[in-house]
Copies of this chain bind each other. A is one copy, B any other.
């Protein structure tokens, strides 16, 4: 029966004598009820095995199904409790030294060789790279070498990843440089007006490394590894692309051969570059650009042909040796190409005294925060990817502790902040690294260099170092991702552009901060308009489905079933209230809604704003003699409802474990109510609007019309419902 026919037939029924109207009406709900019961008896009804909140709460597994900060808190508490229980020495060793895990099953015959090869490969890569990145960070080259020494040993012992190659990386070096320069600038210190600027700067770098380490360890202890979820793919890609460009720009001064004051925004750096372009030194440019070309060529080669896979790792060493030989033979320095000069020989001294002698942590807070978040994100991403390939687990918290100890050792032994390197980790993995032994080999190679080979590396020229940095960051400019985002998701593209342009023109910290805020705001707005659906009963079942998707789903007059498909919280609570109201008004055009059943099964959690809105809804609807039923709330939501006193207001009788139970209850109530009401009010004209049809045709539009007579003045209906509420 289509909607229009439905309203016709109810119009016809108006012509019946009063008793006919009544008879028809009285039996309607009873019919519905009977039919439901028959359906279920004839067909194969779905047995409802509903969950029992109190039992479920005890279920450790289901606890993990609920998320959020409270979950995190519980998890953390559990971990601490577990740690306090008696454990064997082995357990302790394993939890403190993740190294123990791979060491106990280490196969000295088969994997040692692979580890040594991988370690040496990374070693010959890290020596020139670490010196380059130290220069990028505004530090003497030995800082890079020292960061690749003790910290790498430390990570081998405390780190959880077996393929991750830690050490200085470009992004962190840039963050350190811009951050510390700003800190000193705010202090009124510039290289010009401060004679010992370099020393102060170096000490700050050591302190930053130490504090970053402590920060990581604390985050590990308090299981705060999840902070990286704040960084969306678009933010990271846009940020690293822009940072790569800025890094490239900072290196141009070595290629062009004249001093270019660095600045945090691109346009000012371009001005600085072109202002003194007259001092352009073609010799440094020739050397630098040919090194860049060679390095990029080798990289491409290694990518294209697997048999040249060592080319990528060897290339930096080749250009290094090449320019050292050049310097030794034709004396580049005398020809106007600056060289490194004066690298202190021997092991790094203990800098613990400097590391802990911190004036103000507040000053360093921004630089520490940015290094901690960006560094950990870079490291954990590659560590997880490599772990996935080799089928072992990375525990974010332990990994944080590992990185923390490494950074702390950096601070204690003359290094600067470090993290896992994308490029070296990839090389390490490709070269066959199987355990931390590879890292130990790498660090040992670096140790040999600082002990015996510093006089050789003193001959290295700056354009060569710059070329290593530039070739390292070129591939980070991820314009392909931008094109992809534009095609797939315009708003993510917007976030990418904000991260990219913000980082380029406002500086790395501000650009990153802005993009993170924007992406979080978009999440909030995205979640502010949750999906809701009017549900209808699938004929012959106890299943309730979205009437948009299931046209055959049946609606019952006077009862509205709404499902909310999202957690209810402050950003969407009012929207949900408005939607329910709209549904109710639309459905109420045909027949006054007496029961609104809200299905809560997809509501993972509610906050107090939601509780206030529910309270308000209950009050408003109660005044209009509409009863609110809640079905299938989970344990957590149920607890909140009880604590807030909402269960007392709505009454527990109106909270059901299944929508079907709620519907049967409502039909029963309406049935009893109407039957008890009508005999006293036999000739009431207002009954007209009660003679509507059950909507059960598959062809009708979602909410079918029956008679559309007004109901606003029908006091009897309200009185009747008020009585019904007394029932419940």
Contact = CB atoms under 8 A, between A and B. Distances in A.
Interface of A: 39, 42-44, 46-47, 49-51, 56, 59, 61-62, 65-72, 226, 229-235, 384, 388, 484-485, 487-492, 519-533, 538, 540-541, 543, 548-552, 565-567, 569-572, 574-575, 602, 604-605, 607-609, 611-612, 620, 640, 643-644
- Among A42, A56, A484: residue with most chain B CB under 10 A: A484
A68 B46 CA distance: 35
A490 B567 CA distance: 17
Contacts of A46: 538, 541, 543
A667 to B, nearest CB: 21
B523 A608 contact: no
A232 B528 contact: no
A647 to B, nearest CB: 12
* Cβ-closest 5 pairs across A and B: A67-B529, A43-B44, A232-B570, A68-B526, A233-B609
A96 to B, nearest CB: 24
Given A71-B529, A234-B607, A485-B608, 18 more contacts: A47-B552, A49-B551, A50-B549, A51-B548, A65-B531, A68-B528, A70-B491, A229-B570, A230-B524, A232-B609, A234-B609, A388-B620, A489-B607, A523-B569, A565-B602, A565-B604, A566-B604, A602-B602
Contact of A231 (B49, B231, B570): B570
B530 A67 contact: yes
A486 to B, nearest CB: 10
Which of A49, A384, A543 gathers most chain B CB within 10 Å?
Answer: A49
A509 to B, nearest CB: 16
Integer count of this chain's copies in the complex: 2
Contacts of A540: 44
A540 B43 CA distance: 10
Given A44-B540, A541-B46, A607 B492 contact: yes
Contacts of A525: 67-69, 72, 226, 229
B42 A490 contact: no
A605 B548 contact: no
A520 B388 CA distance: 32
Q: Which of A234, A552, A571, A575 has the most CB of B within 10 A?
A: A571
B485 A229 contact: no
Contacts of A620: 388
Given A234-B609, A490-B70, A527 B523 contact: yes
Given A229-B572, A605-B526, A608-B492, A549 B640 contact: no
B643 A488 contact: yes
Nearest to A67: B529
Nearest to A548: B62
A611 B388 CA distance: 18
A384 B230 CA distance: 34
12 contacts: A44-B540, A68-B527, A229-B575, A230-B571, A232-B571, A234-B609, A487-B643, A489-B607, A492-B609, A526-B605, A527-B527, A565-B604
A77 to B, nearest CB: 13
Contacts of A69: 491, 522, 525-526
Given A44-B44, A570-B232, A602-B565, A66 B608 contact: no
A170 to B, nearest CB: 22
Given A229-B572, A604-B566, A49 B527 contact: no
Contacts of A575: 67, 229
A569 B232 contact: yes
